[in-house]
Chains A and B, each alone.
Chain A
């Protein structure tokens, strides 16, 4: 006689230590196995797009900081590039170099949190402390220049808010040589840790085709073995001047596109960011970072869609201008928002404990998911 079974619904979040913020998941489970996952968003919906419509173009920048608060520089970067494209401004070389260095430093800091919390979620608390130590290093370098630890409002349309601090170049060089050892340390601590591999390899496998159809970008997509990075494939700013590789998931510990691959791609990406910083830091030309800042930002009528490679993937800004000093509409294509959509697909058939490992490997920031 066959046993009659029923599925059970388990609620996870919005207050949960491992949902990386205020995400709520409705898990439909059969025993310990996931049948279906329904994410509920909006617990951090802070009305960014409404604010953007009510503010002038340069006043929007602080709000972009607060979307993906782990990678504020990237958000600033994307927004100012979009507005500059609309205005047709060419920024000075010095600004370009500083922007790239800042964005890459921020990428490393962001990945530090992503990897640290990914480990901490599934029980490895020590790497979290190590990575936060190094993140503090980066934050103190950036703080010296722009005066804030997390939300910088540093990149302005046409320029930067401040020139770099006299110590910046020296300290950044110190950091790059220091951080190379840290990556080795991280590899020993976590990347090739037997328990960590057991928890993440072959878990949440994302095939390449599904990833593209779901619009996944960033380490999510690269983890599935697709060499796609906007810095190379749809290059912006001055990224085409630097020599760097795009790490992709190879299935070293299991299947291509599993949680471990996504983790691994992030670790290797930090190395590439260091390479970019090392090349750029020696080439910063002299110049005035304020020279191209327009007195009044009033773009012509029209639309622009501009995208940058943020630590979490493709960050796109769609701006409609009606010829006024305020944007008519700003829509943000947030990478976490799109990447999170795959969660249901990835979790099917796994255990409840694996949901945490998968969610950690997607690396969401709720401020960006809900905006």
Chain B
């Protein structure tokens, strides 16, 4: 069993610049930030290293950080420009019983993160969900389609973005109350 700081040290020594920083200020668990296009390398290392053995991905969550600037679009609605979208990975080792949280951030306009589907199979649907809800594109994902929303839902409309605007109609059905 290792603490987050020790794991961070191991990662920093082995992988160097891919690992960006560790945020210890959070009230519960520290978060290690990683380069978004190198996350699959980190994941593979975390899973296969005999000292770490993170064999299970507990949760993968896409988050709209909403840290850009708020501007009005031509119809008068608030939209967010700039800033980042993030993905949080919560890992657990069923053998060594330790946990770690990873975080990657990608620019909002063109959010691309490497897929970890080939490391942990359960990332498949989680990533599809993050794509569907937040609009993060996972590179090298085998089947990146919408999962919860209908397949013919408006392109580039992702409901969990903070500036999501509910459409008036879907297939002739009125959506707002």
Interface set of A (CB-CB < 8 Å, partner B): 41-42, 45, 47, 49-50, 53, 85-86, 88, 210, 212-216, 226, 228, 233-234, 299-300, 302-305, 307, 314, 316, 318, 320, 329, 331, 333, 337-338, 341, 370-371
Contact of A318 among B59, B64, B120, B150 (CB under 8 A): B59
The docked-state distance in angstroms from the alpha carbon of A4 to that of B148 is: 37
Among B3-11, B27-35, B37-45, B74-82, the one that faces the other chain is B27-35
B124–A318 CB distance below 8 A: no
The docked-state distance in angstroms from the alpha carbon of A209 to that of B115 is: 21
Q: How far is the CB of B78 from chain A (nearest CB, A)?
A: 15
A213–B120 CB distance below 8 A: yes
The docked-state distance in angstroms from the alpha carbon of A151 to that of B25 is: 37
If over half of A's interface residues share one DSSP class (helix, strand or loop), that class is named, otherwise mixed; here it is: mixed
Contact of A50 among B29, B101, B160 (CB under 8 A): B160
Q: Jot down 14 A-B pairs with beta carbons below 8 A, ordered by A.
A: A41-B148, A42-B150, A49-B133, A50-B159, A86-B27, A210-B121, A216-B122, A233-B97, A304-B27, A304-B29, A318-B59, A318-B90, A333-B90, A337-B125
Beyond A213-B56, A226-B94, 20 extra complex contacts between A and B, CB < 8 Å: A41-B147, A41-B148, A42-B146, A42-B147, A50-B159, A53-B160, A88-B27, A212-B94, A213-B55, A215-B57, A215-B121, A228-B94, A302-B28, A305-B29, A305-B90, A318-B61, A318-B88, A331-B88, A341-B124, A371-B148
Closest to B123 in A: A215
Residues in A neighbouring B27, C-beta threshold 8 A: 86, 88, 299-300, 302, 304
The docked-state distance in angstroms from the alpha carbon of A258 to that of B101 is: 33
Closest to B92 in A: A234
A85–B94 CB distance below 8 A: no
Contact of A303 among B31, B56, B146, B160 (CB under 8 A): B31
Contact of B159 among A47, A85, A213, A331 (CB under 8 A): A47
Q: A215-B56, A316-B59 are in contact. Are A303 and B29 (CB under 8 A)?
A: yes
Closest to A305 in B: B90
A85–B28 CB distance below 8 A: yes
A316–B55 CB distance below 8 A: no
B58–A215 CB distance below 8 A: yes
Residues in B neighbouring A226, C-beta threshold 8 A: 94
Q: Beta-carbon contacts of B146-157 to A below 8 Å, as 1s and 0s?
A: 111110000000
Residues in B neighbouring A88, C-beta threshold 8 A: 27
The docked-state distance in angstroms from the alpha carbon of A147 to that of B122 is: 38
Q: Is B49 an interface residue (CB 8 A)?
A: no
Contact of B148 among A86, A300, A341, A370 (CB under 8 A): A370
Residues in B neighbouring A41, C-beta threshold 8 A: 147-148
Residues in A neighbouring B25, C-beta threshold 8 A: 302
The docked-state distance in angstroms from the alpha carbon of A50 to that of B161 is: 9
Q: Is B63 an interface residue (CB 8 A)?
A: yes
B26–A302 CB distance below 8 A: yes
Q: How far is the CB of A66 from chain B (nearest CB, A)?
A: 16
Residues in B neighbouring A316, C-beta threshold 8 A: 58-59, 90
Residues in A neighbouring B61, C-beta threshold 8 A: 318, 329, 331, 333
Kindly name the residue among A213, A228, A303 whose own CB sees the greatest number of chain B CB atoms within 10 A: A303
Closest to B103 in A: A303
The docked-state distance in angstroms from the alpha carbon of A40 to that of B52 is: 35
Contact of B63 among A214, A299, A329, A370 (CB under 8 A): A329
Q: How far is the CB of A214 from chain B (nearest CB, A)?
A: 5
Contact of B125 among A49, A307, A314, A338 (CB under 8 A): A338
A333–B160 CB distance below 8 A: no
Q: 3 tightest A-B contacts by CB?
A: A215-B122, A331-B61, A42-B148
The docked-state distance in angstroms from the alpha carbon of A371 to that of B148 is: 9
